[in-house]
Amino acid sequence: MDPILDPDVELMLRVKAGDRNAFEMLIGKYQRPLINLIGRYLGAYDDAEDLAQEVFVRVHRAAPRYQPTAKFSTWLYTIARRLCANHARGMALRRWFSLSRDMADREDDPPDEGLDVADPADDPSVAAEKRQLRRVVAQALAELPDTLRFAVILRRYEELSYEEIAAILGCSVTAAKLRVHRAKAVLAKRLAPYAKDAR
Amino acid sequence: MTMTQSDSPTCSTVRAMLAEDLKTQSESVERHLAGCAACRAVAERLKSAWTLLGTLENREPSPRFAAGVMAKLAPTETHARPFIAPWVRWTATAAAFAAIVVVTSTILDRGETEDEAASAVVADLDLDLLESQEMLQNLDVIEDLDLLLLLDEG
The C-alpha torsion from B44 through B47 and B48 to B52, rounded to 10°, is 180
**Chain-centre distance of CA A116, in angstroms?**
16
pLDDT beyond 80 at A84: yes
Cα–Cα distance measured from residue B138 to residue A62, given in angstroms and rounded to the nearest whole number: 14
Please name the residues in contact with B19: beta carbons below 8 A apart, sequence gap of 6 or more. Answer: A180, A181, A184, A185, B46
B17 vs B115 pLDDT, higher one: B17
Give residue-wise pLDDT tens across range B93-128: 777 777 777 766 766 655 555 555 444 444 444 444
Residue of chain B with shortest Cα separation from A35:
B61
Cα–Cα distance measured from residue B82 to residue A63, given in angstroms and rounded to the nearest whole number: 15
The mean pLDDT of chain B is 68
pLDDT beyond 70 at B131: no
A35 vs A86 pLDDT, higher one: A35
**Mutation site, A13, A26, A36, A158, interface B, largest B CB count within 10 A:** A36
Quick check: A195 and B55 in contact, CB under 8 A?
no
pLDDT beyond 60 at B142: no
Task: Please list every residue in chain A whose beta carbon sits closer than 8 Å to the beta carbon of residue B13.
Answer: none
What are the boundaries of each domain within chain A? 1-108
**Distance spanning both ends of chain A, measured CA to CA:** 34
DSSP-derived 3-state class of residue A28: helix
pLDDT given for residue A126 in this prediction: 81
**Mutation site, A12, A79, A115, A191, interface B, largest B CB count within 10 A:** A191
A120 vs B93 pLDDT, higher one: B93
Cα–Cα distance measured from residue B145 to residue B118, given in angstroms and rounded to the nearest whole number: 12
Task: Please list every residue in chain A whose beta carbon sits closer than 8 Å to the beta carbon of residue B65.
Answer: 27, 31, 35, 49, 52-53
Quick check: B33 and A93 in contact, CB under 8 A?
no
The C-alpha torsion from B62 through B66 and B67 to B71, rounded to 10°, is 120
Residue of chain B with shortest Cα separation from A199:
B51
pLDDT given for residue A172 in this prediction: 92
Distance from CA of A192 to the nearest CA of B (A): 6
Give residue-wise pLDDT tens across range A130-140: 888 889 999 99
B105 vs A70 pLDDT, higher one: A70
pLDDT beyond 60 at B57: yes
Where does A1-108 sit in CATH, by number? Answer: 1.10.1740.10
The 10 Å CB-count burial string (b at 16+, else e) for B84-106 is eeeeeeeebbeebbeebbeebbe
Helices (H), A43-145: 48-62, 72-96, 101-105, 124-143
Please name the residues in contact with B38: beta carbons below 8 A apart, sequence gap of 6 or more. Answer: B11
**Quick check: B45 and A60 CB within 8 A?**
no
Q: pLDDT tier at B141 (50, 70, 90 boundaries)?
A: very low
How much is the CA Rg of chain B, to the nearest whole Å? 26
pTM: 0.68
A52 vs A97 pLDDT, higher one: A52
Mean pLDDT of A49-57: 95
Quote ipTM for the complex: 0.81
Give the A:B interface size as CB pairs under 8 Å.
123
**Quick check: B19 and A57 CB within 8 A?**
no
Residue of chain A with shortest Cα separation from B139:
A86
Give residue-wise pLDDT tens across range B112-121: 555 554 444 4
DSSP-derived 3-state class of residue A170: coil
Mean pLDDT of B125-138: 47
What are the boundaries of each domain within chain B? 11-53, 86-153
DSSP-derived 3-state class of residue A159: coil
**Distance spanning both ends of chain B, measured CA to CA:** 34
